A and B are shown apart, each in its own frame.
Chain A
């Protein structure tokens, strides 16, 4: 299927998989390639809702820097991909709009929160999609949909135009079936941007094809994972050894603090970011202005935020409240520094830390709805540590379970060492047979 075909069939494809919130476009003379972007990246020409009803009708006047840079490189943005509301989820099931379906089994989740992006990357030929990761939102869906996914160092890609979840955690990354596309487009979207101060401290991203020669596997990461994931991961370690990579099991006890620290920071920041959505200026504004401002704001927020958004707003408001702030928010900041130190200690002896990406293969939608919030949060225990630490990480497909559902492994390197990950993805792709989902259109 050529890119032109893809464009003409978007409607049909989307009716099967539901990966897009808003989409469309015609092939033009300037078009060199097609790409899609998660719907929390602002874009001219498409409605941008970040999976939330409260933003319905928001048509940004500016492109996110990452989108603008892809366009400058000849890319045509063909759609905004469905996601958990503001990125709050692991399965994209917390979308106020359509929930994307897994290309390997339509009864299962694409993962989240960049589920629509992973779905587009898995289904559309030669496609690359911009995703965003706060606590695992690129690697999780990449793992569940059997694609490659890279999240660069915090600050590598400008967050200008990214609708914030947690500003000290959010990172824009790429998903594709083709690892060469990660190497091609990561340099395109990277680089300093005067509109995002956190992008302005980075050293240049050099593609030097440096190789990972040794990995540390935390023992903690292979506890509490499903048998099929364990088997695929163990097999992958063997393959890596055969590629000449040293594999060593290590202890990283600090990782157990990463998840609570992450949820405290992420929700504290999110609850302040989401304060701006209150029925004025953008998105839904159809309320009764004769109401007092407290009641007016409350009515919008109560009606248009989804269940998980409310839960995280409440949690984050609590953890930063006077009296609780020191125990939760301030402590979580310290714990993050400790987790970063733990990674740095590993990187003295190893090029990367390697774990499975998710503890299980993509669950069925009915199983997801039965999960409690804590069970939900725990599913991210492997993707959260590098996200908390701001270290770059990569999902590589590394196996399939008995039902043919993809399994992924996650490499983590030191800050600014994306080059090692890009080389690994390409090397891995040469020796591992990645399966493409059968497209049902």
Chain B
């Protein structure tokens, strides 16, 4: 099975791609509009620098060869949501080509290209059959990322999309507003001929649509039928794909250059744009640099890139072993509340410093970390930790087999302790606190 994706990401600019209309939520339909995004005769586009910069960042993140010279093209098609009946996109001179993304650090998924284009408006149907159009979305900048058909299953597609979305959000600072800002076209072939499922929103739906399409194609082939190359649509509610009546031939788009924008010689700009390490790359690096388990590295990074950075800080100050013990332990457990409070990491680092020079014991360190990170009083934290540790220790004393099993490599042995503590304390402690304490105490007994 071969799956290739075309992923559309809205870029977080403040104004639209070719006009200065705001990109924020509009008070009513057709209020964030101007002659340009309404396609009024006589208007013309001017490119938003930030959209270009975001495009360059993503091209770099995807390991693409970034163009020295890039420009835009016109894709002509008739639909009520496209105010000019022409979409300004990139055709033969996209911003980036020939990249590669390693899924979970291992499997290469080749990136064909990344280009910039404008979003069309939104349409609604009325009861009597006509349509209503809102052009507030018209002209919002999009990056389209096209992969080679290197993805082997719907599950893998979902995994890839999750990694890609996390990397994109981190690279260009998209606020965490859910996954629905990602739309994709999914190409899938079980046999020789492929079908394209257009305009699927979100990664859950991408997996559902692909799974449905996979089963459909397998059934047809098993029955001796032939897959017809076609464009299909996905019905989110019913979870099925269906043939899109209107066939789209690339020939009809009749791409030509967009003369109104000129061209962009971006070598200098490309050199001046640097990007942050993507979460996927950071995971791989943490794992290999510190010799920690890939899952632990991923847990750190997916909790928060800031947490992963703090891990590195601790590792450089007190060694990897202490970083693993404290950061992947109590610090991770308290990180969400810590970030909500918006404190600096210096105080946290200071607590670890006290432990390192022997001023405080490990139990005191755990209590102080919790207190510093959550803002609870030390006594409260101590009492809680104390009670929690007593329950855990008591249970472990009564069931010595658990530590023995854990020592032999059966990490799941700790689950029975966690389950017991959760049940017996009835929601008094957060699950992350319990998991952290159990892991810490079990490991300390080995």
Q: Which residues of A contact B (CB under 8 A)?
A: 41-42, 48, 50, 55, 58, 60-62, 64, 159-164, 167-168, 194-198, 201, 268-269, 271-273, 275-276, 278, 280-282, 289-290, 293-294, 297, 317, 320-323, 325, 329, 333
Contact = CB atoms under 8 A, between A and B. Distances in A.
Nearest to A168: B259
Contacts of A48: 41-42
A67 to B, nearest CB: 10
A269 to B, nearest CB: 7
A281 B84 CA distance: 10
A252 B257 CA distance: 28
Which of A62, A167, A196, A333 lies at the interface centre, i.e. has the most chain B CB atoms within 10 A of its CB? A167
A276 B83 contact: yes
Contacts of B262: 197-198, 201
A198 B260 contact: yes
A289 B133 CA distance: 13
Given A198-B260, A317-B254, 11 more contacts: A42-B41, A164-B41, A196-B44, A197-B261, A198-B259, A272-B86, A273-B86, A276-B39, A281-B83, A320-B256, A321-B254
Which of A64, A289, A297 lies at the interface centre, i.e. has the most chain B CB atoms within 10 A of its CB? A289
Interface residues of B, number: 40
A321 B251 contact: yes
Contacts, number: 114
A336 to B, nearest CB: 11
Given A60-B40, A159-B44, A322 B130 contact: no
Contacts of A162: 42
Nearest to B46: A197
Given A272-B86, A293-B80, A197 B47 contact: yes
Interface string B58-100: 0000000000000000101011100111100000000000000
A308 B5 CA distance: 43
A162 B128 CA distance: 37
B260 A197 contact: yes
Which of B252, B255, B259, B261 lies at the interface centre, i.e. has the most chain A CB atoms within 10 A of its CB? B259
Contacts of A321: 251-252, 254
Contacts of B76: 271-272, 275
Contact of A293 (B47, B79, B250): B79
A38 to B, nearest CB: 12
B243 to A, nearest CB: 17
A201 B263 CA distance: 12
Contact of A278 (B40, B44, B78, B255): B78
B43 interface: yes
B129 interface: yes
Contacts of A163: 41-42
A320 B252 CA distance: 9
A167 B46 contact: no
Given A167-B260, A276-B83, A282 B40 contact: yes
A289 B42 contact: no
